[in-house]
Amino acid sequence: MTRLQQRLDALRSAGRKALVPFVTAGDPSLAATVPVMHALADAGADVIELGVPFSDPMADGPVIQRSSERALLRGAGPRYVLDCVRVFRERDADTPVVLMGYLNPVEIRGAATFAADAAAAGVDGMLLVDLPPEEADEYRAAFAHNGLALISLASPTTPQARLQRLCEQADGYLYYVTYAGVTGAAQLDVGDAGRHLDEIRAMAKSPVFAGFGIRDAASAAAMAEHADGVVVGSALVSALEGGKDEAESAVLAGAFLRPLRDALDGLAVPA
């Protein structure tokens, strides 16, 4: 059983909601990435989504776009990202790490090569925003061969037939985008998103995590009432912008995440 599946099974057995923070590798500095990852794990992260900086992050809003630009200027390419995971694994062998990014950097290297390198570094899965499920078979096979989950995305505009397919083939967890738009937009409609999540969870074979628009403890708790877990990205990336060095960045990361962890742990989860 993979590290990610072990964590998901443990959450289910304990009746706990998953907390998944996203940070961009290489921002606010190259030296800060691994300390921030450790701080997030210490503050209660169940899975860490590590953003692979990309020049055209089409699903991301201004906050994450700027973080990718800054990271790329510092030299935070795919090799650096995998090196960060490798160093993180020296102290943390348990917290799953999922890379979140775009198809081009993977395609350049080839699905099999990238998957093997990622697995060797200690990665547990990958979310490729611009990989259509209809074209994912090669990538899914290469990732599965290396014990990696290829995380699928669904959104409010996903057609029913495709949604059914995503629910059936979801590996690890299904990432539900709570609104039609880019990350960081202040347009989360908890009621509408909650109705969609309830329907999807009834169909899905894997846990369903909600992302986009989750900014604080209140929004995390509200969405977790309808989801198996929540992903928080832009608000955390924004909070880290003020980190002057790796130590301060780690402190900021932990301080941001702990209230969300407390809010999720305070929810009454049906048996």
Residue the block writes with tokens 């495709």: 162
Q: Name the H helices within 49-189.
A: 62-73, 78-89, 103-109, 111-121, 137-145, 160-169
Question: Is the C-alpha dihedral spanning 262, 266, 270, 271 positive or negative?
Answer: positive
56 is annotated as an active-site residue: no
State the catalytic residue, choosing from 60, 124, 171, 246. Answer: 60
168 is annotated as an active-site residue: no
Q: What's the half-sphere exposure (Cβ side, CA atoms, 13 Å) at 196?
A: 25
CA distances from 5 to 37, 75, 167, 211 (A): 20, 32, 16, 19
Query: What is the distance between the alpha carbons of residues 171 and 162, in angstroms, rounded to a whole number?
Result: 15
State the catalytic residue, choosing from 27, 46, 49, 124. Answer: 49
Annotated active-site positions, please?
49, 60
